[in-house]
């Protein structure tokens, strides 16, 4: 670029390759006064070149373009942004407006969640007797998905957890010669806390995310709308089978996790603390009360329902495309684990305080 | 002097698993022309394009782009070729997590060293060309089907590619928007000397823009030649296409 008599001569083509260098040169001549831009030497121009000319025209109070070939002129006409209407500026929102909005948003969310909760419970109870609006075999296939497929991971993790718990306490108990109390410890902790909690948290990660992402995908791809248009209630068709399957599976999974966890403890007791199998088992049955077992299994139902309801809730609120699905899936897992732990705390307050 | 084809395939065979979709395709696409690929729904038009651009690896045969055999090319070298090609996918394929503006900015930011002001200007112009000036801040999920397609076209032409490939650009558009899109495509060809390959069924737009026609049927090339020759063709499928206007 060369500047002479207030005329700026462009001496190369104006394409994407040349523009970055040209923008740098522009800084050097920023102070000059330019009334005309000579494009005689420009043979090729593309949209980046036109954008550059627009930039020049804005910087230097609209100099005229001279000596353009007809082709360049036509390309310029197509790609010039100067004739476009100015983009609208977005209005900045007041701080208090924002607070109000978020409060309102929270209220709306809570309201929707409660409605959904009522809907799901209602249709689930109706669904026990009235099988209309269910897909055939869906409870079984969901149970396989939620329950059977999770057997391996839940079994393995509760076994390891049992081993760890027993091993950690064994070292302490042995110092006092209180070896046999490892059975008490394992029984109480697995039955009342570890079994239900571990199972629910694994299920929240495994099935909760699956529920949320499945429903969210159906939402963003208009599948739920399609169901509605076929006069099918999406909650009955999609959520209720999951709700039933979860309700069926969770007590079985919890019982299994608890037993395997205690088995882990038994192995430590035999190998490390020299307790006989019979003594350990007798002790376990002495310690466990009916109340402990009932509360442990009872609360796991609530955990299961929490998982289904939160997963479906976030699924139904998904919007946007694939990235919306990812977002609600993450949120649903975090929320389910949070509420499971809160519920667990409430449960302890009610029954053991 | 005869022009060299800018894209050509010889004996191209495409399969999905065991199903052979394209058998022995030989086509030539010449620079600076608008080539329209025709054929019934499901006959393999999208498959042909994807195999040429190596989104699927062709089963056998050769593909030349810019005179270079590409089926065995290394990734980086092929990327250099791809950066000179713009593609409009049948369903848009905008990145859902970004606004329309950011979607169009992707190729500009990744493949050029242009400054943000220039990029912004280019994006506004390209959006205006496809009649979407007001949509730049919206997310893809907030657009209608036809708007998505136009936004995707704006992204495909962001870099002024030498070859533009469009899979059904005007499906789902009203006749006026569709006509203005044809106008734009003609301008791109005339002013930027772009080579354009279009899959479309719209007879009106074929009449307006096509230089060459390639007609696919049952995995084979049934006809390949100029629009005038296609209109005079005695091949029954092609005759009925131009008479009925659709399948
Ligand atoms: N990913 C895939 N896997 C297996 N088969 C496929 C796949 N994509 C397409 N097909 C099959 O290949 C054939 C050709 O599909 P293609 O999408 O190329 O058709 P098309 O000519 O573009 O049709 P349309 O005009 O409807 O877009 C179809 O029979 C389809 O079933
Ligand atoms: Mg197709």
Domain, as residue range, for B128: 92-160
pLDDT at A87: 67
**What residues in B contact A54, CB-CB < 8 Å?**
121
Residue B246 confidence (pLDDT) above 50: no
pLDDT at B247: 44
Q: Is B80 in the same domain as B96?
A: no
pLDDT at A211: 94
Q: Which residues contact B35 (CB under 8 A, 6 or more apart)?
A: B29, B195, B196, B197, B198, B210, B211, B212, B213, B214
Q: Is B76 in the same domain as B180?
A: yes
Q: Is B246 in the same domain as B171?
A: yes
Return the ligand number nearest the Cα of B55.
1
**What residues in A contact B125, CB-CB < 8 Å?**
47, 50-51, 79-81, 84
Q: Is B192 in the same domain as B80?
A: yes
Q: Is B171 in the same domain as B246?
A: yes
- Measured in Å, residue B21 CA sits from the centre of ligand 2 at 12
- What CA–CA distance (Å, rounded) separates B214 from B230? 9
Mapped onto helix, strand or coil, the DSSP state of residue B29 is strand
| Nearest alpha carbon, ligand 1 atom 30 | B42
pLDDT at A208: 94
Q: Name the CA radius of gyration of chain A, rounded.
A: 34
Residue B211 confidence (pLDDT) above 50: yes
Q: Which residues contact A306 (CB under 8 A, 6 or more apart)?
A: A200, A336, A339, A340, A343
Confidence of residue B233 (pLDDT cuts 50, 70, 90): confident
Residues pairing with A62 in the sheet:
none
Q: Which residues contact A308 (CB under 8 A, 6 or more apart)?
A: A120, A208, A211, A239, A242, A243, A246
Write down which residue in B160, B187, B209 finishes a domain: B160
**Domain boundaries A2-79, corresponding CATH code:** 3.30.750.24
Return the ligand number nearest the Cα of B41.
1
| Overall domain count for chain B | 2
- Going from N- to C-terminal start, the domains of chain A cover 2-79, 110-352
In what order do the strands lie in the sheet containing A36-38? A2-4, A7-9, A36-38, A64-66
Q: Which of A160-174, A182-196, A295-309, B175-189 has the lowest mean pLDDT?
A: B175-189
Question: Which residue in B has a C-alpha nearest to residue A76's C-alpha?
Answer: B191
What is the residue whose two structure tokens read 């997963």?
A311
- Measured in Å, residue A292 CA sits from the centre of ligand 1 at 60
Chain segment A59-102, per-residue pLDDT in tens: 887 888 888 888 888 888 888 888 777 766 667 778 888 888 88
Residue A175 confidence (pLDDT) above 80: yes
Query: A with B: how many residue pairs have Cβ under 8 Å apart?
Result: 74
Q: Is B58 in the same domain as B128?
A: no
As a whole-number percent, the residues of chain A with pLDDT over 90 amount to 43
pTM of the model: 0.74
Distance from CA of A61 to the nearest CA of B (A): 17
Write down which residue in B160, B182, B212 finishes a domain: B160
- CATH (domain of B45): 3.40.50.300
Supply angle C-alpha B28, B209, B88, rounded to 5. 70
Q: Is B19 in the same domain as B39?
A: yes
Q: Is B99 in the same domain as B77?
A: no
Are A321 and B141 an interchain contact pair (Cβ–Cβ within 8 Å)?
Answer: yes
Mapped onto helix, strand or coil, the DSSP state of residue B43 is coil
Q: Is B114 in the same domain as B219?
A: no
pLDDT at A333: 95
Whether B20 is in the pocket of ligand 1, judged by its Cβ within 6 Å, is no
Chain segment B51-95, per-residue pLDDT in tens: 998 888 889 999 999 988 888 888 888 888 888 898 888 887 888
Supply angle C-alpha A214, A215, A217, rounded to 5. 65
Exposure string over A138-147, b if 16+ CB within 10 A, otherwise e: bbeebbebbb
Query: How confident is the prediction for chain B on average, in pLDDT?
Result: 87
Out of B115, B125, B136, the one facing A79 most closely (by C-beta) is B125
From B44, B89, B220, the mutation candidate for ligand 1 (largest count of ligand atoms within 8 A of CB) is: B44
Q: Is B184 in the same domain as B203?
A: yes
As a whole-number percent, the residues of chain B with pLDDT over 70 amount to 98
Model ipTM?
0.77
Return the ligand number nearest the Cα of B200.
1
| Nearest alpha carbon, ligand 1 atom 25 | B41
DSSP string for B116-129: HHHHHHHHHHHHHH
- What CA–CA distance (Å, rounded) separates B184 from B160? 13
Exposure string over B209-241, b if 16+ CB within 10 A, otherwise e: bbebbbbbbebebbbbeebeebeebeeebbeeb
**What mean pLDDT do residues A226-250 have?**
89
Q: Is B78 in the same domain as B186?
A: yes
Write down which residue in B139, B160, B181 finishes a domain: B160
Q: Which of A4-13, B122-131, B189-198 has the lowest mean pLDDT?
A: A4-13
Confidence of residue A160 (pLDDT cuts 50, 70, 90): very high
């Amino acid at each position: 670029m060369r500047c002479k008599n207030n005329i700026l001569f462009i001496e190369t083509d104006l394409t994407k390759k040349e523009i970055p260098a040209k923008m740098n040169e522009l800084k050097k001549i920023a102070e000059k006064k330019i009334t005309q831009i000579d494009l005689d030497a420009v043979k090729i121009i593309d949209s980046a070149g036109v954008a550059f000319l627009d930039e020049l025209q804005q910087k230097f109070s609209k100099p005229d373009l001279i000596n353009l070939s007809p082709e360049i002129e036509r390309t310029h006409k197509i790609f010039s942004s100067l004739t476009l209407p100015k983009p609208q500026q977005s209005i900045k929102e007041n701080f208090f407006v924002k607070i109000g909005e978020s409060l309102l948003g929270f209220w709306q969310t809570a309201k929707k969640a409660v409605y959904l909760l009522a809907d799901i419970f209602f249709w689930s109870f109706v669904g026990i007797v009235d099988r209309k609006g269910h897909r055939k075999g869906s409870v079984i296939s969901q149970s396989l998905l939620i329950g059977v497929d999770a057997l391996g991971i839940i079994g393995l993790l509760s076994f390891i957890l049992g081993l760890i718990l027993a091993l950690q306490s064994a070292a302490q108990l042995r110092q006092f010669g209180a070896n046999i109390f490892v059975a008490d410890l394992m029984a109480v902790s697995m039955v009342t806390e570890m079994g239900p909690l571990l199972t629910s948290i694994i299920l929240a990660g495994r099935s909760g995310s699956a529920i949320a992402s499945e429903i969210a995908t159906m939402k963003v791809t208009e599948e739920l709308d399609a169901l509605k248009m076929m006069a099918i209630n999406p909650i009955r068709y999609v959520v209720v089978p999951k709700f039933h399957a979860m309700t069926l599976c969770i007590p079985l999974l919890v019982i299994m996790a608890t037993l395997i966890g205690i088995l882990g403890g038994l192995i430590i007791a035999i190998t490390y603390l020299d307790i006989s199998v019979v003594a350990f088992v007798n002790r376990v049955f002495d310690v466990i009360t009916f109340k402990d077992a009932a509360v442990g299994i009872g609360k796991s139902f609530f955990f299961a329902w929490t998982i289904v309801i939160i997963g479906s809730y976030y699924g139904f609120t998904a919007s946007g495309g694939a990235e919306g699905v990812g977002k609600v899936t993450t949120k649903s897992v975090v929320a389910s684990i949070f509420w499971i732990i809160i519920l667990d705390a409430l449960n302890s307050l009610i029954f053991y305080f | 002097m005869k022009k060299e084809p800018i894209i050509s395939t010889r004996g191209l065979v495409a399969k999905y698993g065991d199903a052979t979709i394209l058998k022995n395709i030989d086509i030539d696409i010449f620079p600076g022309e608008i080539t329209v690929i025709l054929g019934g729904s499901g006959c393999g038009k999208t498959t042909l394009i994807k195999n040429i651009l190596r989104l699927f690896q062709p089963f056998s045969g050769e593909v030349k782009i810019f005179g270079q055999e590409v089926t065995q090319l290394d990734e980086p070298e092929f990327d250099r070729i791809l950066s000179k090609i713009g593609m409009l996918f049948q369903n848009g394929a905008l990145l859902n997590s970004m606004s329309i503006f950011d979607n169009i900015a992707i190729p500009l930011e990744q493949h050029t060293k242009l400054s943000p002001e220039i990029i912004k200007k280019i994006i506004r112009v390209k959006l205006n060309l496809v009649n979407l000036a007001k949509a730049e801040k919206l997310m893809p999920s907030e657009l209608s089907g036809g708007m998505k397609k136009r936004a995707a076209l704006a992204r495909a032409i962001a870099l002024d590619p030498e070859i533009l490939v469009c899979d059904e650009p005007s499906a789902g558009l009203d006749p006026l928007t569709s006509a203005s899109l044809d106008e734009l495509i003609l301008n791109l060809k005339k002013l930027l000397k772009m080579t354009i390959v279009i899959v479309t069924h719209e007879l009106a737009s074929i009449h307006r823009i096509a230089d060459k026609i390639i007609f696919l049927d049952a995995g084979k090339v049934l006809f390949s030649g100029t629009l005038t020759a296609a209109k005079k063709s005695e091949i029954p499928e092609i005759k009925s296409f131009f008479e009925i206007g659709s399948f």
